[in-house]
């Protein structure tokens, strides 16, 4: 049993499954990696964990570690889950004992307070790494982000400052990347949930796409979510998950955030392209274009979670515009679904009720977008698409 579905818990799960152990992850919150990922990306990772045989218990609290004859025997989550090994991976706290004894100021996050030169409240003492707090480059707030990537940069800045030059450490984006079985998961900046809590006028796009030209051998799909500030057009955060190459997409978006680029600037970035390395329009460019379409009111999108809720509670129509063979392979089982392949849509448009909300789905989002434009052009008022389509669907 692993207590905690954060990145250490997830990496541990993979390691243990790979040596043949049966693993259960117990996570307190609604989904894994709750502070790092939004639900729509986390659910894709959860599906992958389940495919790999990991037993996942979310919204579940461990109240006790159980022992028999002085040996660990399981955990109590309201019922007993037997286990030979229990690993706790519930987060880290900064070790500030020495700093407290030295009379240094501790910041609001519980880590040592430092200025941009990484000087503590005593100007002759510098501090860096996991024991200090950082500035969040998006919100300007103090954050505790204990990562090796940050600690190493701190080292150079402190080295420069104590040897006579002046060097600054501006702050962090809470960028994280980790591997879970065959999936790469990467994120930066704010989640959509956090951005909304902080009062940003945030919206998001969910863009699936191949990591290289789709016809090139070895092409694998990735799913990218980008969170945008509607007021400025700048990126607030991004998350990606999937089998393909995600790190370079996240790194491009991170660079764009640092540079303060808007979605309009990102959509024309001269990114490297040849079929073995990316699609002619890389997923990052497609995400920026989708964000522009949404901003400009060309299309209205909802997440898979929102669509599921509407399907359950409201009198909506789900319009599936994929081809016949795709529909046969996987579909939403509901009498609210109408299936009209995109190529037949103009001829069969009268089969769609005009007095209901129409929610369109396809495989990746492109055909839904086209269908939404066709319906709007034909006078339909209440039309939405499911962002990312079946590529983002979870059961
Ligand atoms: C399982 C795991 C996986 C991780 N994976 C990643 C990753 O993929 N990417 C990433 O960016 N980060 C990762 N991290 C985080 C990364 O390891 C830390 O952020 C990084 O090591 C912090 O460096 P540091 O020098 O501040 O602290 P540490 O590496 O913890 O070094 C501090 C050292 O100081 C010593 N020390 C403490 N008190 C005293 C004292 N009073 N006197 C003398 N010595 C003392 C400690 O024993 C320790 O050796 C991971 C962490 C864990 C636990």
Q: Does pLDDT of 22 surpass 90? A: yes
Check whether residue 275 and residue 313 sit in a common domain. Answer: no
Residues 184, 281: one domain? yes
For the Cβ of 97 lying below 6 angstroms from any atom of ligand 1, the answer is no
Give Dmax over CA atoms of the chain in angstroms: 78
Ligand 1 contact via 245 beta carbon (within 6 Å): no
Dist. CA 324 → ligand 1 center (Å): 54
Q: Is the pLDDT of residue 394 over 90?
A: no
Residue 112 lies in a domain: yes
Distance between CA atoms of residues 373 and 351, nearest Å: 17
Is 8 near ligand 1, meaning CB less than 6 Å away?
yes
Q: What is the pLDDT of residues 154-194, one digit of tens each?
A: 999 999 999 999 999 999 999 999 999 999 999 999 999 99
Pull the structure tokens for residue 85.
């090994």
User: Residue 73 has what pLDDT?
Assistant: 97
Indicate whether 208 and 284 sit together in one domain. Answer: yes
Asked if residue 215 belongs to a domain, the reply is: yes
Ligand 1 centre to CA of 112 (Å) is 15
Do 273 and 282 meet the contact criterion of CB atoms below 8 Å apart? yes
Query: Are the C-beta atoms of residues 102 and 125 closer than 8 Å to each other?
Result: yes
Q: Count the Cβ atoms, other than its own, within 10 Å of residue 79.
A: 7
Residue 395 has a pLDDT of: 79
**Neighbouring C-alpha atoms within 13 Å toward the C-beta of 241:** 22
Query: What proportions of the chain, in percent to the nearest 5, are helix, strand and coil?
Result: 30, 25, 45
Instruction: Answer whether residue 72 shows pLDDT above 90.
Output: yes
Domain CATH number, residue 375: 3.40.250.10
- Packed helices 39-51 and 7-18: angle between N→C axes, nearest 10 degrees: 10
Q: How confident is the model at residue 147 (pLDDT cuts 50, 70, 90)?
A: very high
Q: Taking the mean position of all CA atoms in its chain, how far away is CA 373?
A: 28
Query: What residues have CB less than 8 Å from 17, skipping those under 6 apart?
Result: 23, 52, 53, 54, 181
Chain centroid to Cα 59, Å, comes to 19
> What's the pLDDT band for 275 if we cut at 50, 70, 90?
very high
| Nearest alpha carbon, ligand 1 atom 43 | 98
Compute, in angstroms, the gap from residue 337 CA to the centroid of ligand 1. 52
Spacing, Cα 130 to ligand 1 middle (Å)? 6
Is any atom of ligand 1 closer than 6 Å to the C-beta of 102?
no
Q: Which two tokens stand for residue 100?
A: 């407290």
Of the pLDDT bands very low, low, confident and very high (cuts 50, 70, 90), residue 90 is very high
Q: Whose CA is nearest to atom 53 of ligand 1?
A: 8
Indicate whether residue 146 lines ligand 1 (CB < 6 A).
yes
Pair 284, 183 in one domain: yes
From 13, 148, 247, mutation site for ligand 1 pocket: most ligand atoms within 8 A of C-beta: 148
Segments forming the whole domain that contains residue 314:
301-392
State which of 88, 117, 138 marks the end of a domain.
Answer: 88
The answer to whether residues 289 and 190 belong to one domain is yes
Name, in order, each residue with C-beta under 8 angstroms of 260's C-beta and a sequence gap of 6 or more. 234
- Per the domain annotation, does 170 fall within a domain? no
Tokens 């995400």 belong to residue: 287
Same domain, 289 and 183: yes
Structure tokens at 165: 């030059």
Q: Is the pLDDT of residue 97 over 90?
A: yes
- Segment 344-357 shows an average pLDDT of 96
Residue 52 covered by a domain:
yes
Mean pLDDT of the chain: 97
Residues 180 and 287 in one domain: yes
Number of domains in the chain: 4
Helical axes 283-295 vs 247-259, angle rounded to 10°: 50
Q: Answer yes or no: is 330 within a domain.
A: yes
pLDDT at 311: 95
Q: Where are the beta strands (DSSP E) in 322-392?
A: 337-339, 357-361, 383-386
Tell me the mean pLDDT in the region 371-385: 96
Which of the listed residues 151, 156, 176, 247 should we mutate to test ligand 1's pocket, taking the one with most ligand atoms within 8 A of CB?
A: 151
- pLDDT grade for 75, boundaries at 50, 70 and 90: very high
Phi, psi of 354 (to 5 degrees): -90, -15
Regarding whether 274 and 335 lie in a shared domain, the answer is no
pLDDT at site 316? 96
The model's confidence at residue 27, banded by pLDDT at 50, 70 and 90, is very high
Mean pLDDT over 192-197 rounds to 97
Is position 171 within any domain? no
Same domain? 139 vs 211: no
- Indicate whether 167 belongs to any domain: no
Looking at the fold, whether 229 and 211 belong to one and the same domain comes out as yes
Residues making up the chain, counted from first to last:
395
Examine residue 169 and state whether it is found in any structural domain, yes or no. Answer: no
Taking the centre of ligand 1 as the mean of its atom positions, its distance from the CA of residue 223, in whole angstroms, is 31
Alpha carbons 287 and 208: distance in angstroms, whole number: 9
Q: What are the tens digits of pLDDT across the range 278-330? A: 999 999 999 999 999 999 999 999 999 999 999 999 999 999 999 999 999 99
Last residue of a domain, one of 279, 295, 311: 295
128 CA closest ligand 1 atom index: 26
Span from the CA of 176 to the centroid of ligand 1 (angstroms)? 16
Is residue 244 in contact with ligand 1, taking CB distance under 6 Å? no
CATH of residue 201: 3.50.50.60
Say yes or no: 261 and 195 in one domain: yes
**Measured distance CA(54)–CA(388) in Å, rounded:** 26
In angstroms, how far is the first alpha carbon of the chain from the final one? 24
Q: Decide which of 88, 114, 131 is a domain's last residue.
A: 88
Is residue 218 over pLDDT 90? yes
The pLDDT score that the predictor gives to residue 31 is: 97
Q: What is the Cα–Cα distance from 294 to 300, expressed in whole angstroms?
A: 6
Instruction: Tell me whether 0.90 is exceeded by the ipTM.
Output: yes
* 276 and 216 in a common domain: yes
């Amino acid at each position: 049993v692993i207590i905690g579905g954060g990145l250490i818990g997830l990496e541990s799960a993979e390691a243990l499954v790979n040596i043949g152990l049966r693993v259960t992850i117990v996570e307190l919150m609604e989904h894994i990696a709750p502070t790092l990922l939004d639900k729509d990306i986390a659910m894709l990772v959860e599906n992958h964990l389940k495919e790999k045989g990991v037993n996942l218990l979310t919204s579940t609290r461990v109240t006790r570690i159980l022992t028999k004859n002085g040996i660990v025997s399981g955990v109590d989550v309201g019922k007993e889950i037997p286990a030979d090994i229990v690993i706790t991976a519930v987060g880290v706290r900064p070790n500030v004992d020495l700093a407290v004894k030295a009379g240094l100021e501790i910041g609001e996050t519980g880590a040592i307070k430092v200025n941009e030169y990484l000087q503590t409240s005593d100007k002759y003492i510098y501090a860096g790494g996991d024991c200090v707090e950082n500035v969040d480059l998006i919100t300007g707030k103090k954050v505790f982000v204990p990562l090796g990537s940050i600690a190493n940069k701190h080292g150079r800045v402190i080295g420069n400052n104590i040897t006579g030059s002046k060097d600054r450490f501006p702050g962090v984006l809470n960028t994280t990347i980790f591997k879970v079985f065959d999936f790469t998961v990467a994120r930066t900046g704010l989640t959509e949930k956090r951005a909304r809590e902080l009062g940003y006028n945030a919206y998001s796009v969910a863009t699936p796409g191949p990591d290289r030209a789709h016809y090139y051998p070895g092409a694998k799909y990735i799913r990218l979510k980008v969170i945008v500030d509607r007021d400025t057009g700048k990126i607030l955060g991004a998350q990606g998950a999937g089998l393909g190459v995600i790190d370079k997409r996240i790194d491009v978006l991170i660079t764009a955030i640092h540079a303060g680029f808007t979605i309009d600037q990102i959509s024309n970035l001269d990114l490297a392209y040849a079929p073995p390395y990316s699609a002619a329009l890389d997923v990052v460019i497609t995400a920026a274009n989708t964000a522009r379409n949404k901003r400009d009111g060309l299309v209205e999108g909802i997440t898979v979670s929102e669509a599921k809720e509407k399907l359950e509670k409201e009198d909506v129509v789900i319009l599936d515009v994929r081809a016949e063979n795709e529909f046969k392979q996987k579909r939403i089982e509901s009498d609210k679904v109408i299936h009209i392949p995109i190529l037949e849509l103009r001829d069969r448009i009268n089969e769609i009720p005009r007095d209901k909300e129409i929610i369109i789905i396809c495989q990746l989002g492109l055909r839904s977008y086209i269908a939404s434009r066709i319906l709007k052009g034909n006078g339909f008022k209440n039309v939405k698409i499911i962002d990312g389509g079946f590529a983002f669907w979870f059961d």
